[in-house]
Amino acid sequence: MKYVAPRWLPGGNLQTIWSALYARKVKGALPRYRRERWTTPDSDFIDVDYLGDAGPNGGPLLVLFHGLEGSSASHYALAFADFAREHGLAYAVPHFRGCSGELNLAPRAYHSGDHAEIGWVLQRFRQSHAGPIVAVGVSLGGNALLRWAQELGTAAAQVVSAVAAVSAPIDLAAGGHAIGAGFNRLVYTRMFLNTMKPKALRKLDQHPGLFDRDALLRARNLYEFDNVFTAPLHGFRNTDDYWQRASAKPHLRQIRVPALVVNARNDPFVPAACLPTQSDVGSHVTLWQPAHGGHIGFAQGRMPGHLRTVPDAVGGWLLQHTHPSREHCHG
């Protein structure tokens, strides 16, 4: 991926914030979604938003897994929807639990290593969709998608033709510490905790005694929040155990399906020093690490810029792998 930031959009923080708030997300009208509610194996639910004017069931399906506190309305989800609409693709955004605008039922939420949930969702798409499936995960969703591909190994190719991760925090400890320091803590940590804490407290009302309310209220960064809420609710001993076991970076060699990993080297959430090199990955993994782009930024063109840079590049790469001969070549 060749991305050069516009001269009016310098630096990783500005590229991140401007893209989320001000850049054009679509070329035409905003996409229209239709929603399906799926009952999970543990009697909870997730909501899946489908592009209303989607492509045929026999054509490719593009599935997008959103990032932390994201949804089908996130700037990147809308930009990928625009790409799908332009290319006649079916498109779906499954929401992680509690992210669709309604609190989920179970005493759990979602996390960066939620590969079992990813697997259940993709298997359900595989059962209902006749054509090839490709999946892209953004930020947290990208790490979880890579963890799924790593866990399945060669079996992943029976479900999807290819996967891609955009701005994924594949080293969760490095990313967690980066977002908890300096400017990042003042801006991004505060933004995330402003929605995560109230949702956690509603979860506590739903399931009294689930965690220590006072400890959660004291949490001032994601490390402390994960220690009280995310880690224990999802089977991890503590934040360190969670970040270590959920990180995709140590397992990139296990991936046996075509996988694209895109990280800007000036991403304020994912330090360049922690990014994988070619020696860290196997032959199935392609690394794109442009110097600029921020975290899910990559706005291009004249002010205010547009967000189709990543969907065009990543979506184009994914679609190359939907041809039967390409699927055969990759086993």
Structure confidence at residue 326 as a pLDDT band (50, 70, 90) = very low
Q: Is 33 strand, coil or helix? A: strand
Q: What angle do CA 17, 78, 183 make, to 5 degrees?
A: 15
Residue type, 304: P
Q: What is the pLDDT of residues 92-138, one digit of tens each?
A: 999 999 999 999 999 999 999 999 999 999 999 999 999 999 999 99
Q: What is the rounded CA–CA span in Å between residue 239 and residue 174?
A: 13
Helices and strands counted in the chain (H then E): 13, 8
Calculate what percentage of the chain has a pLDDT beyond 70.
96
> What is the set of domains in the chain, with CATH numbers?
12-171+251-324 (3.40.50.1820), 172-246 (no CATH)
| Catalytic residue ranges | 139, 267, 295
Residue pLDDT, tens place only, 150-191: 999 999 999 999 999 999 999 999 999 999 999 999 999 999
The beta-strand segments (E) located in the chain are 33-39, 45-51, 61-65, 90-94, 133-138, 162-166, 259-262, 285-288
What is the per-residue pLDDT for 57? 73
- CA dist list (Å): 171 to 100, 126, 240, 276, 314: 27, 29, 12, 9, 21
Per-residue pLDDT band for 2 (boundaries 50, 70, 90) equals: confident
Query: What span, in angstroms and rounded, lies between the C-alpha atoms of 270 and 167?
Result: 8
Q: What is the pLDDT of residues 286-308, one digit of tens each?
A: 999 999 999 999 999 999 999 99
Provide the edge-to-edge strand list for the sheet that holds 162-166: 33-39, 45-51, 90-94, 61-65, 133-138, 162-166, 259-262, 285-288
Mean pLDDT of the chain: 95
